[in-house]
Structure 1
Amino acid sequence: MSSKELDSIRKYIFEKTVARGEIILFEGEPARAVHFVISGVVKVFKTSADGKEQILYLARAGDSFNDVPVFDGGLSLASAEALTQVVLYGMEKGDMEARLREHQKLAENVLQVLSQRIEQIVSLVEDLSFRRVTGRVAKILLENAEDTSGQQPKLTQQQMAAMAGTAREMIGRSLKLLEDEGKVRLERNRIVIRDKEALREIAGVGT
């Protein structure tokens, strides 16, 4: 988009800082705004009737969430919680709809985001249906590796279990297996990847 187009949109954007652990939105409430992560990490998740949590994805800087229900006029499909302190930009539903009608490039960008969201959900379904627990754990480690040193961000085993769709005990067993095989090293507050290529093979993903 041109700088002029961006300037015309900027006045409709609000900024919000969210503390770690704060719920940003709840599943089932009216979808009032699209949120864009500027910094920090947001957990987007669903909760079953018996309280079991399934993490759909982690939204980081540059990602959006609560986009699909805003556009289809429905309720929020998932809850969102700040895993760290988070800075968000947001745009109210009516403002977003009006801007999409005015700016073709913005509409194209939104379509790309929605396509990526579909790919994320399809990937999650494939993981839960076809990938063994250790493979899911390996994939989570790879996707959330902090940097080229291979250090893993501080996801708890319970959070990893919610991402993998399994019990926390299974995560612990899988991590111990990966450590025994020399693929990772378990430290007090982090997991260090020692053999990224081996993890890719276990996870069934390309380089």
Structure 2
Amino acid sequence: MSPEVPVPELPEVNPPATPLPVPHDLPVPHDTSARLELTETGEWKRVSPKYVLVEIVGTIVNAVVVCGGASLLWLLLGQTWALWVGIIVLVASIINLVFEPRRVRSIGYLLREDDLLFRRGILFQRFVAVPYGRMQLIDITRGPIARWLGLADLKFVTAAATASVSIPGLAEADAENLRDRLVELAESRRAGL
């Protein structure tokens, strides 16, 4: 039998980490008092009520095109799946038409000190804050129905290539005034950077 050789103890390679001190002035993630209260930030401006007509016409045109194509496939080529697609699109369009006025009323924007806050949506709400200094392009677009109603869409392209925000359904004069104001704010913020 071989004699037992004592094994020397090795020092710890990775000593236990000591926790880093947490600054006391940072808000706790679950602290609701540190969150932005969107109802108290100012008065939201809504888009024109005439924008409902633009959305309704768009929904009806899409439904007619898809249902018409599905009907042709069903009648001429005997594709029964096309009939079901047409029925589903028709039902979805009717439901969309019912909720269209409420969806348009949910669209709004708010000019704050350092950014523009935009909201939209009923069930799935979206809030976007666009800092003035990040705005690179402010564009006004007008579709045929919107132009007939005197409306325009204002689109912002920011420094992030994938980030763009569009405020639809503004009166043309409001869109132009808001564009000029945002260009002025963006230039002053970029000059201050």
TM-score, length basis structure 2: 0.30
Greater Cα radius of gyration, structure 1 or 2: 2
TM-score, length basis structure 1: 0.28
